[in-house]
Structure 1
């Protein structure tokens, strides 16, 4: 499981967007990045479609998700 609370590029507020994880300072759900990439979009296309998200945020989220794959499993 990805440890989103420790990712500096996202935040979450139960009163905003149904409590979804959002790119910090935006109303753009983090999930949208993964969905668009899965559908074949490039990061450049994603950033064009969601101008509130910065390249550093998108890359930081991807790096955070990738790093979580090497964490030991919680028991």
Structure 2
């Protein structure tokens, strides 16, 4: 079974979408990228998020954007 990348639970960060098994909202990754920070900087700032989780989330976001544009 594939491990979850993200999760949402009303008891964790008020139900914000977070990286699985962390309390780090995925929105923080997007904010880092938009502000010009590198993925490495994000991972340094939030060591509970794995590189695999962050990259998988970005790929998933791209797939959703592609599907909506089609």
SS of structure 1 residue aligned to 2:66: coil
Cα distance in 2 for partners of 1:17, 1:72 equals: 28
| 1:40 is aligned to 2:41 | no
What's the CA shift for 1:69?
1.2
Q: Name stretches of at least 5 consecutive residues in structure 1 with no aligned partner.
A: 1-7
Q: Which has the higher helix share?
A: 2
CA RMSD, Structure 1 to Structure 2 (Å): 1.2
How many residue pairs get aligned? The number is 66
Identify the structure with bigger relative contact order (alpha carbons < 8 Å, sequence gap 6+): 1
What's the CA shift for 1:15?
1.3
SS of structure 1 residue aligned to 2:24: coil
Off by >3 Å, runs of 4+ in structure 1 = none
User: Which residue is equivalent to 2:51?
Assistant: 55
TM-score (norm 2): 0.89
Cα distance in 1 for partners of 2:68, 2:36 equals: 30
| 1:28 is aligned to 2:21 | no
